[in-house]
């Protein structure tokens, strides 16, 4: 599987509870935090839901 690097660039404050939980599920708890995750369909779906809060890089 391909890996992607997900970095949170905006805060989850004033976002819906669902978007906050999606950020936590991706392993992002603070602004400028990064995680490397597998690019599975489930992860890509979560990335699409919060793409305005994160930056994605292919590895």
Q: Are 16 and 42 in contact (CB under 8 A)?
A: no
Find out whether 1 and 40 touch, Cβ atoms under 8 Å. Answer: yes
Give me 20's structure tokens. 């906050």
Q: Is the pLDDT of residue 9 over 90?
A: yes
Residues 27-51: tens digit of each pLDDT:
999 999 999 999 999 999 999 999 9
Mean pLDDT of the chain: 96
- Compute the average pLDDT of residues 19-34: 97
**C-beta of residue 28 within 8 angstroms of C-beta of residue 8:** yes
pLDDT for the residue numbered 3: 96
pLDDT of residue 1: 79
Q: Which domains does the chain have, with CATH numbers?
A: 3-58 (3.30.1390.20)
* Radius of gyration for the alpha carbons in the chain, expressed in angstroms and rounded: 10
């Amino acid at each position: 599987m391909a890996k992607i690097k997900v970095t949170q660039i905006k805060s989850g404050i004033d976002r819906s509870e669902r978007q906050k939980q999606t950020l936590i599920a991706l392993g992002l708890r603070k602004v400028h935090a990064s995680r490397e995750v597998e690019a599975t369909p489930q992860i890509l779906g979560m990335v699409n839901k919060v793409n305005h809060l994160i930056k994605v890089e292919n590895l």
